[in-house]
Amino acid sequence: MVQIPKAAAPSSTTPPLPHSVPTSADVARLAGVSRATVSYVLNNTSAVRISEPTRRRVRAAAEELGYVPHAAARSLRAGHSRIVLMPTPAVPMGPLYHGFIDELQWALGRLDYTVVQHGSVGLRGEEAARAWAELRPVAVLVPGTGIGPEGVAVLRRSGARAVVTIGPEAVEGAHAVLLDHHSVGHRAGAHLYARGRRRIGVVVPEERGLGVFSRPRLEGVRRALSGTDGTVTELPLGYDEESAARLAARWRALGLDAVFAYNDEYAMLLMRALQDVGLRVPEETAVVGADDLMLGRLLRPRLSTVHIELPAGRDLAELVDRAVRDPGGAPERRTVRGATVVHRESS
Amino acid sequence: MVQIPKAAAPSSTTPPLPHSVPTSADVARLAGVSRATVSYVLNNTSAVRISEPTRRRVRAAAEELGYVPHAAARSLRAGHSRIVLMPTPAVPMGPLYHGFIDELQWALGRLDYTVVQHGSVGLRGEEAARAWAELRPVAVLVPGTGIGPEGVAVLRRSGARAVVTIGPEAVEGAHAVLLDHHSVGHRAGAHLYARGRRRIGVVVPEERGLGVFSRPRLEGVRRALSGTDGTVTELPLGYDEESAARLAARWRALGLDAVFAYNDEYAMLLMRALQDVGLRVPEETAVVGADDLMLGRLLRPRLSTVHIELPAGRDLAELVDRAVRDPGGAPERRTVRGATVVHRESS
């Protein structure tokens, strides 16, 4: 991290206009040293010996002028930045994911990276990669796999030393943290089968962008039930009360005795709709969610769920750092497999 | 937005190493033009007349080399960037806020700004402002007011043409979008009083960083009840089941007949705990949340809530753009006052 001198308190209530932005040349002039010296001192470079009085003079000048180093200029000089870019996911993510991001940002900050999140509003694949490349990040952490191998190549060509995808599949040329959504579905299916359920519905959200998670979860349930006397029925569901009421209205006709509801939020929505048409949970239909949110414990019956381990923020930060230091290394693959059923009252 | 040429598909499975990052000089050499011409063409500058064949030649060369413009270099040339920096809030925000952020990013993108979110992990006030200033944003949109006037001054000195805070109070030197949390509490208090409740509890979350919202909400309830025969009792509550159970266990001793629970999530937590100790909602205690989340409609009884208008993303994007164009203008103050009670079954 660059040592940033404390800025002086503003002496007037009106901040100076942009044309007065102090530069390192101003600091050099005031301190009576070269610009290079200013750069060495403010970047805490230990490779160059500079006397303590000179360092103090530079810091005092920077403070007096309110000078802040310029990340862009520094990255141009260094040939790369310390920016780790994290595009924000295109789909709404739950509290579990936000906690993970917070921990990751903290861990990367400790390794002297600056984490920048970037909205990918409306951009996909290569197009998104080019927008991100303009910031010249030293590493990019991409949620999902929509960037594709072409997008990875765009980022690598623009100087990103590491691209890491976080999702159910690996992308050529990128490191991958593989979230095993298949096993989430498999655990839920095996649990329901072991509890004596045979006709199992699986909620597949209709919301765009969730297929990358819901398809492997569905496939996992199918795999858990394959070769048994159980059946799996796909249940498209939009995240609103009307869709849930429509599904609940035809529930008895479907003849299901259990449902894996994609996650806890869809499970809450569907369980409420089932209860509203008089279905008893879990007697007539067992319900299992995923994510282990607190809301599941507040529901009645208490919601059974699949607890999903996310990669530890510190581990992922270290993977990024290793990859940045060895940009030519072979892509790492790391699979996070910690899915466990939390059995409560709804199943 | 800069017109970015389509990059060629990678010809090899191994992306080239960083030392081969193509520069605008490479593009100029391949196209047989000056670097300035490359810059004009790729930045779509209309001020300079360049023939269509030359433009095509530059674009083809950029495509062949996989060249992506460098935002940092461009911002150094221009003296400022098109980056709008949005620090991510230090406290977990609900789905309402995330929807607002998405809309805002989209609206700023339409005005050719690049929205960058920046984690403020562990940084506060001036220190946070200096970290943000390193990215030389043209504007900064700060959630909350913790940056203080000194932080605003740091950002202005480093070239930010506009600083806009979004929170309950204005900060000297910055434009302000004022969210009127006071009126959220006032509406809830007035609603409960009108429903015949007289002994009203107000949940104050114990989680750090929420005081800036919870204090004006509590004060709003007090104001609504002042001069009446109603009383207001402050109820500290942590967001976990144990805290809620402890509060519920002493509920009858408190003698309250209503509670404004800060928001829908705390309301769900507390209502569940009250029901678990056998209290009837709303007969014995009325419960009102805030935020109007879907989960409130799924609870039984259905949760009454205060619906809060956030500023429209497009309006806020236009405020930012106006401020960037007129950096010396007087700070704008805009108050968002759209708080309305949604009366359901819990009150």
Q: What CATH number is given to the structural domain containing A25? A: 1.10.260.40
Q: Which ranges of A195-256 would DSSP assign to H, the alpha helix?
A: 211-225, 241-249, 251-254
pLDDT < 50 stretches in chain A: 1-19
| pLDDT tens-place string over residues B100-132 | 777 888 888 788 787 887 765 556 677 778 777
Q: Are residues A137 and A278 located together in one domain of the fold?
A: no
pLDDT for the residue numbered B80: 61
Nearest Cα of chain A lies from the Cα of B68 at a distance, in angstroms, of: 6
Q: Are residues A84 and A97 located together in one domain of the fold?
A: yes
pLDDT for the residue numbered A10: 31
What is the number of structural domains in chain A? 3
Q: A131 vs B4: CB contact, 8 Å cut-off?
A: yes
Identify which has the larger pLDDT, B19 or B282: B282
Q: Are residues A263 and A222 located together in one domain of the fold?
A: yes
- For residue A5, being part of any structural domain is answered with no
Identify which has the larger pLDDT, A145 or B312: B312
Phi, psi of A115 (to 5 degrees): -90, 125
Nearest Cα of chain A lies from the Cα of B269 at a distance, in angstroms, of: 7
What is the per-residue burial (b if ≥16 Cβ within 10 Å, else e) of A220-253? bbbbbbeeeebebeebebebeeebbbebbeebee
Q: Are residues A303 and A158 located together in one domain of the fold?
A: no
Average pLDDT over residues B285-303: 94
Q: Are residues A316 and A173 located together in one domain of the fold?
A: yes
| Structure-block tokens of residue A9 | 């308190």
Q: Which ranges of chain B would DSSP assign to H, the alpha helix?
A: 24-31, 35-42, 52-65, 71-78, 95-110, 125-133, 148-157, 181-194, 211-225, 241-249, 251-254, 264-276, 294-298, 313-325
- For residue B250, being part of any structural domain is answered with yes
- For residue A44, being part of any structural domain is answered with yes
pLDDT for the residue numbered A16: 37
Nearest Cα of chain B lies from the Cα of A227 at a distance, in angstroms, of: 38
Q: Are residues A62 and A88 located together in one domain of the fold?
A: no
Residue B47 confidence (pLDDT) above 70: no
- For residue A343, being part of any structural domain is answered with no
Q: Are residues A189 and A289 located together in one domain of the fold?
A: yes
Q: Are residues A165 and A280 located together in one domain of the fold?
A: no
Residue B155 structural domain:
80-179+311-338
- For residue A249, being part of any structural domain is answered with yes
- For residue A235, being part of any structural domain is answered with yes
Q: Are residues A292 and A226 located together in one domain of the fold?
A: yes
Q: Are residues B52 and B94 located together in one domain of the fold?
A: no
Q: Are residues A201 and A57 located together in one domain of the fold?
A: no
Supply the DSSP symbol for B19.
G
Domain boundary among B69, B96, B130: B69
- For residue A292, being part of any structural domain is answered with yes
Q: Which residue matches tokens 């979008």? A: B177
List of residues 6+ apart from B282 with CB closer than 8 A: B301, B345, B346, B347
Q: A15 vs B152: CB contact, 8 Å cut-off?
A: yes
ipTM, two decimals, is 0.70
Residue B200 confidence (pLDDT) above 60: yes
How far the first Cα of chain B sits from its last, in Å, is: 51
Residue B14 confidence (pLDDT) above 80: no
- For residue A274, being part of any structural domain is answered with yes
* Residues in B touching A118 (Cβ below 8 Å): 114-117
Mean pLDDT over each residue of chain B, to the nearest integer = 84
Highest mean pLDDT among A21-30, A256-265, B15-24, B39-48: A256-265
Average pLDDT over residues B50-57: 87
What is the per-residue burial (b if ≥16 Cβ within 10 Å, else e) of A31-58? bebeeebbbbbbbeeeeeeeeeeebebb
pLDDT for the residue numbered A77: 61
Phi, psi of B85 (to 5 degrees): -90, 130
Q: What is the CA radius of gyration of chain B?
A: 26
Highest mean pLDDT among B9-18, B28-37, B88-97: B28-37
pLDDT for the residue numbered A73: 65
Cβ-nearest to A295 among B106, B130, B268: B268
* Residues in B touching A70 (Cβ below 8 Å): 76, 134, 136, 158
pLDDT for the residue numbered A296: 92
Residue A210 in contact with residue A266, Cβ under 8 Å? no
pLDDT for the residue numbered A6: 33
Q: Are residues B186 and B267 located together in one domain of the fold?
A: yes
| B298 vs B307: CA distance, rounded Å | 16
Q: What CATH number is given to the structural domain containing B168? A: 3.40.50.2300
Q: B17 vs A131: CB contact, 8 Å cut-off?
A: no
